[in-house]
Amino acid sequence: MTSSMTDSQNPRTAFVIGGSRGVGAAAVRQYAARGTRVAIGYTANDEAAKETARAAAEVGPEPILVKGDLGTEGAAMTVRAAEELGGLDALVTTAVPLITGRTLGVTREDYERAFDVQVWGLWEIVRAGLPYLADGGGAVVAVTSLGSNSYARYYGALGPAKAAMEGLVRYYAAELGPKQVRVNAVSPCLIDNPGHGGEDQIAGVHEVIAAVAAKTPMRRLATPDEIASVAVALTTPAFVFVTGQVIAVDGGYSLLA
């Protein structure tokens, strides 16, 4: 089991699910640079996972790879990561299935897949990781989206699933607080990460991106590193009294949405 983080400014061990690309890969690199031993959870892309591990090893400890599907294997993946790392201080999930379409256009199977990954996946990994997290006052961070509470025409399945994820974050935070385990979420708007997240499946996506950037007070989209930096920071002792929160990392977009 993991040891306490009270004598360190960084988690000693972390499991990043969805860690082979995008925000997850950025989180892996940032953890490694802090000296944290990381397990990369990923579904299928072996080469992307290996490349992320190579990049992380250049700045810190070499990560381990944990392949599996969060929607069906989340608990087993978490236990394996904790055992191979020798503990678990931080658990971060950035995983999201590539499901796009309006509410009336997506199928029941799309909804089930979205909820399996975003809701049941989170439910399982926290329960599986709790014996390790509670041993040293660990932290959990889930990446959600502004589409959980604002309409996005291509988010017909993922929007409701993300909303349920945020509800689960709050309930877990309330129930795990006495164990000194913190649970939070990071909520970005669109991210400047071409080719990731199913953008190429969304009609008119470039116009949407341009409009969002123009409306954002900072007049641009966030980078994966900027989103990851908040997720990683939330698992450090710097935020030891923050739990049950959904942190918007959107350049102020939600102020005007």
Domain count, the chain: 1
Examine residue 7 and state whether it is found in any structural domain, yes or no.
no
Examine residue 22 and state whether it is found in any structural domain, yes or no.
yes
**Domain of residue 144, residue span:** 13-248
Examine residue 127 and state whether it is found in any structural domain, yes or no.
yes
Q: According to the model, what pLDDT value does residue 207 have?
A: 67
Examine residue 148 and state whether it is found in any structural domain, yes or no.
yes
Examine residue 8 and state whether it is found in any structural domain, yes or no.
no
CATH number at residue 168: 3.40.50.720
Examine residue 27 and state whether it is found in any structural domain, yes or no.
yes
Examine residue 183 and state whether it is found in any structural domain, yes or no.
yes
pLDDT in tens, 4-57: 454 478 999 999 999 999 999 999 999 999 999 999 999 999 999 999 999 999
pLDDT in tens, 132-153: 999 889 999 999 988 788 877 7
Examine residue 38 and state whether it is found in any structural domain, yes or no.
yes
pLDDT in tens, 52-91: 999 999 999 999 999 999 999 999 999 999 999 999 999 9
Q: According to the model, what pLDDT value does residue 204 have?
A: 54
Residue with tokens 């499946």: 201
